[in-house]
Amino acid sequence: MLAAMPEPEGEMERPSLVSDLDWDADRARAFADRTVDLWEELLRRLPELPVAGRWNAGQVRAAMAREVPDEPLPDDELFDYLRAMTFEYSMYPGHPRFMAYISGTGTVPGAPADLLAAGLNMNVGGWRLAPSATEIELALMRWFCREFGLDPQSAGGYLVSGGAMAVFVALKVARDVKANWDVRGSGIRSGPALRFYASQEVHVVSQRAADMLGMGREGVRTIPVDGDYRMRMDALAEAIEQDRGSGIRPIGVIATAGTVATGAIDPLPEIADLCAARDLWFHVDAAYGGPAVLAEDLRPMFAGIERADSISFDPHKWLYTPHSGGCVLLRDWSNLVLSFAALASYVHEDKETSGHGIDLGMMGPQFSRGFQALKVWVSLLAHGRTAFARRISHDAELARYLAARVEAHPDFELMAPVTLSICCFRYAPSDLPDDPGREEYLNVLNERLMTEIQLDGRAFCSNAVLHEAFVLRACIVNFRTEADDVEATLEVAAELGGRLDKELRPETLRG
Ligand SMILES: Cc1ncc(COP(=O)(O)O)c(C=O)c1O
């Protein structure tokens, strides 16, 4: 029983209840049920739906943007709106014929796990605000460390929004550790220009990270690649020497394990040796390729990744979990604190008395953090490791199968070796003469073809630009894709390609 408190003097009335937002459990259940009904219908109808529609921005804006009402929308009206959003104005990365960019399918158990995470609404910036969530994220990170061959005693990881943020965190730690002055205190201006090295095939987010770190985009020097799109070691060593000679301080190499264009893997053991010999930070951007370490047949290609100082990879790509969630792993986890710790006097805690654990908000760029780990963790628990390993391996098998079908077809050309699950090819009609204008025309044709495939809705692939050739690119990180879908994608490309060729081919290239 609490002791009676004295009443305040004067005008202050006792506030009455304001409960509009406080739906009870029955109301919550009814609302969630209708949402889950939509999701269930989506799962049932997915294979028959177009991968994407032929809308333009104005049409979608007109249908989706609306005034926020002062009073509640009736549920029927609200769910009609959500139904239209789901079935008329969305596109589906989980569709069996979606093979574009590097966007994962979205695990099925990951979606309800996200609902539970939001329902709990813990703040994973502080342990006391998120005890279970913090320990789950830490357990997940220890598991990832082991899978990548890092020692979970000294290594550790951190969940961020995706590959771009994971690279940013890794490069920030690299900068702070390798610059021999207090960059965090006095800034980048207090020492010589710092530089990272990466292959020409590096994802643009590395240059953007260098820009965000005050190093400018030139803070990443790009190195030529060999015929298989892998960083050339001779050119790397030469660039480092050249920069040293002109007063620039090399601080690290960004290797890519699974480049965005072709899936190439840089020579990791050689880069690890070079970094060790020259005291450089060794980062591996494995945003796409990383989860392939789970697959027995693909894992050997990643030898050397266990020597990295940091690894970034995206569960929301080839681990298929729902957007978003990227991950950065550090060989020496304490470096995250070195790079991100900040004192906030209002966040006081006597951990000796409370016995509480680590506050993850002190170990990365975000202060408040959501429970992103749950959808990944629940997916792993619900499916088990073997299911992921098997499916990742199967995706790569399907990409090789697509490459074989491309090579067997007279009107297609395979444009790069298949390393992981990306197949780059182009439509090149067999009757096209070997003329100086051929390459230029094939670029025009394939550029239009990619757009038409994306608008057509029966399949969905994206593009790459390889040595100035515009090519079609299928990236299979999709546990619903099977051989039928691969064949159908090629059939759609052949049909639309033939039609466009009739329309676009210049007189000079007609036989
Ligand atoms: C190698 C690589 N790094 C980084 C990224 C960026 O990742 P995200 O889109 O999750 O930020 C990508 C995206 O495809 C990528 O392929």
In this prediction, residues 151-168 reach a mean pLDDT of: 97
- Computed over every residue of the chain, the mean pLDDT equals 97
266 lines ligand 1 (CB under 6 A): no
pLDDT for the residue 1: 63
Instruction: Name the DSSP class of 322.
Output: P
Q: Which atom of ligand 1 is nearest to the CA of 102?
A: 14
Pocket test for ligand 1, best of 288, 328, 421 (most atoms within 8 A of CB): 288
Assess whether the C-beta atom of 263 lies below 6 angstroms from ligand 1: no
Q: Indicate the angle between helix axes 483-504 and 438-456, nearest 10 degrees.
A: 120
Ligand 1 near 96 CB (within 6 A): no
Q: Tell me: the pLDDT tens digits for 223-274?
A: 999 999 999 999 999 999 999 999 999 999 999 999 999 999 999 999 999 9
- How many other C-beta atoms lie within 10 A of the C-beta of residue 303? 14
- Say how many C-beta atoms besides its own lie within 10 A of residue 22's C-beta: 8
315 touches ligand 1 (CB under 6 Å): no
162 in ligand 1 pocket by Cβ < 6 Å?
yes
User: Distance between CA atoms of 416 and 260, rounded to whole angstroms?
Assistant: 13
HEC per residue, 333-384 = CHHHHHHHCCCCCCCCCCHHHHCCCCCHHHCCCCCCCCCCHHHHHHHHHHHC
* For residue 162, pLDDT beyond 70: yes
Whether pLDDT at 511 is above 80: no
List the alpha helices (DSSP H) in 219-299.
233-245, 268-278
Contacts of residue 359, Cβ cutoff 8 Å, sequence gap at least 6? 125, 126, 127, 347
Q: Please name each of the domains of the chain with its CATH number.
A: 113-384 (3.40.640.10), 387-509 (3.90.1150.170)
Question: Amino acid letter at 224?
Answer: P
Answer whether 466's CB lies under 8 Å from 91's CB: no
| Cα–Cα dist 249/160, whole Å | 29
Which pair of tokens denotes residue 320?
A: 């298929």
Do the beta carbons of residue 339 and residue 184 sit within 8 Å?
yes
Closest ligand 1 atom, residue 163 Cα = 7
* pLDDT higher than threshold 80 for residue 208: yes
Q: Which residues lie below 8 Å from residue 127, measured CB to CB, with a gap of 6+?
A: 134, 356, 357, 358, 359, 360
| CA dihedral angle for residue 110, residue 116, residue 118, residue 122, rounded to 10 degrees | -110
The token pair that represents 370 in the structure block: 């959501």
Rounded CA separation 457/438 (Å): 29
Q: Is the CB of 285 under 6 A from ligand 1?
A: yes
Over the stretch 422-452, which tens digit does the pLDDT of each residue have? 999 999 999 999 999 999 999 999 999 999 9
Say what the pTM is: 0.97
